[in-house]
Amino acid sequence: MKNIIMLGPPGAGKGTQAKFISKEFSIPHISTGDMLRDEMERKSELGRKVEEIVNSGKLVDDDLMVAIIKKRLTQPDVANGFILDGFPRTISQARALDKLLENIKKRVEFVLYVEVPEDILVQRLSARRVCPKCGRAYNVISNPPRDDNLCDVCHVPLVVRKDDKPETVRNRYRVYLDLTLPVIEYYRNRNVLFTIDGTLPVEKVKDMVLNILGGAE
Ligand code: AMP
């Protein structure tokens, strides 16, 4: 079983690594940010409700996020494991996740903390472009797409995330320090936390992650 959580500040490369892990172990990549952006894109009731909060870099209400994850964890594709990316982001969410998992006789096995200093994050997020179709992330400096501003896979024009504007990035980082750093300590005390240097090249980080997770079962 591979029940994995990715933790780290915005722009650390959690999503990129989560996609590799999802492929390697054939387990679903559950990104709460992608789920919310998808709802916003579809202009659903939930999407309209969270739009302003997400675009400003604040956190969506814990109860709402827990309800979303609860529903997602009832899907059959999580039977052999899952990789959570962007959840839990507060201690209250971490506690709620423990309860949810206990109810379905599962537990968190690996928490991968991708550590990157603030100045590097700000640079990275301003250079980030994402594919609006598949969510793949690029960096115009260190990891550009093959064709000018087009996704390598979907061939649609890449976009800048609304919450990657410099003012909002600082907001998100402050929220991360206040609310998410304690979650790292929460898992450190449980001895399931693995810290990875997220300033290393993507392939190096990937090797380290796969080393920690061990071979596919
Ligand atoms: P991300 O793509 O993980 O950076 O998430 C983008 C935005 O979605 C965050 O800045 C929050 O506004 C919202 N969001 C995603 N996951 C959560 C969560 N677990 N709790 C609260 N808000 C969240």
From 7, 14, 19, 32, give the residue whose CB has the most ligand 1 atoms within 8 Å, as the site to mutate: 32
How far apart are the C-alpha atoms of 178 and 47, rounded to whole Å? 25
Residue 5, ligand 1, Cβ within 6 A? no
Mean pLDDT for each consecutive 10-residue tract of the chain (217 residues)? Answer: 94 95 96 96 96 96 98 95 98 98 95 94 92 92 93 96 89 95 96 96 95 75
pLDDT at 142: 86
- CA–centroid distance, 165 to ligand 1, in Å, is 15
How distant is the alpha carbon of residue 86 from its chain centre? Answer: 4
Domains, the chain, ordered by start: 2-117+166-213 (3.40.50.300)
Q: Beta strand pairing status for 193-197 and 110-115?
A: parallel
Residue in 19, 37, 129, 172 annotated catalytic: 172
Residue 13, ligand 1, Cβ within 6 A? no
pLDDT at 216: 47
- CA–centroid distance, 215 to ligand 1, in Å, is 30
Residue 10, ligand 1, Cβ within 6 A? yes
- What the block records as the tokens of 158 is 């890449």
- CA–centroid distance, 17 to ligand 1, in Å, is 17
How far apart are the C-alpha atoms of 3 and 87, rounded to whole Å? 13
- CA–centroid distance, 90 to ligand 1, in Å, is 11
Output the DSSP codes for 28-67. Answer: -EEEHHHHHHHHHHTT-HHHHHHHHHHHHT-PPPHHHHHH
For 66, other C-beta atoms within 10 Å of its C-beta total 20
Cα dist. 4→10, 35, 128, 154, 181 in Å? 18, 18, 25, 27, 18
pLDDT at 215: 59
Residue in 89, 124, 129, 206 annotated catalytic: 89
Residue 32, ligand 1, Cβ within 6 A? yes
